[in-house]
Amino acid sequence: MAAAVSLPNPVKECFRAGRPALGMLARLGRSGDIARIAKTTGHDFVMIDMQHAIFNLETVAHIAQTALGCDIAPVVRVRSCDDQDTAVLLDNGVMGIVYPDVNTAAEAKRAVDRAKYPPTGRRSVAGTVPMFDFRPVPAGDAVRALDDNTLVVCMIETPEGLANVEAIAAVPGVDVVHVGSSDLLTAMGTPGAYGTPAHLAALDKVMAAAKNHGKIAGVGGDRNIARQVDFIRKGARF
C-alpha cells in the first residue's frame, strides 16, 4: 500500500502544537537568502509582501522554493481578495496567502475561493508542483494534502472589517483572522497609536471572534516587544 502523502506546513504545525508561529516580513530581499535568514533568526515563516513591494512572480517562486527546502513556510501577502495571481503563486511553491483589507464575509469567501479547491473553494488543479519535489502524486492525494496545508489569512484593517469580524471568522476555509494594526489605526483616525485602549479593544474583539469560530488570531504592525508577548499570552498565534 502506498504511503499517505505528507506535506507539512510549519505554520500549521505551530498551531497544532499550541505555540505562536512567528513570521518575518520581506520587502527588500530579492533572493532565497531571505528565507535562510528567517530560518536562522528563529522564524517559522517568511511573508513576502506583494502588496507594498515590487516583487515579480519569478522572484517570489525562487524565495518560496528556498523556504520549502529549509523548513520555513513561504507565505505571500497579495494585493486583495481578488488578486488573480493567487493561484499561480500557490502552484509554484507558496504555502499560504495573506489577504489584506478584508471587510465582509463575502470578501473572505472570495479569498477562500482563490486559495482552496472545491468544494470549499474554486482553485484550479495544476500539474506537478514543487511542494512534492515534482514527484508524480495521485490527484486525490495531492489536492487533499495541498488543501489541508495551504494557509488562508484574512486581515482586519478597517472599522468595517472589525464590525464584521464574527462573520468573517465564520467563513469555512479561513484559517487566521489577523489584525493589521497600522492600517486599522490609520483607518480609525489614530495612525501609530499602538497600545491605546481602542487598539487593544480591537485586538480583544478579533481574538474573541477567532476563538468563537475555531480560528487562529494574528497580530501584526505593533513592534513593541512587551505588547507582542502580551498578545501571545492573550491567544495570538500568528
Which residues have a catalytic role annotated? 52
Q: State whether residue 154 is helix, strand or coil.
A: strand
CB of 31 within 8 A of CB of 63?
Answer: yes
- Rounded to 10 degrees, the C-alpha dihedral 56/60/62/63 comes to 140
| Rounded distance between C-alpha atoms, residue 118 and residue 121, angstroms | 5
Residue with cell 502588496: 51
Rounded Cα distance between 84 and 78, Å, is: 9
CA gap 203, 10 in Å, rounded: 24
What amino acid is encoded at 68 in this protein? L
What amino acid occupies position 9?
Answer: N
Crossing angle for the helix pair 197-212 and 225-234, nearest 10 degrees? 30
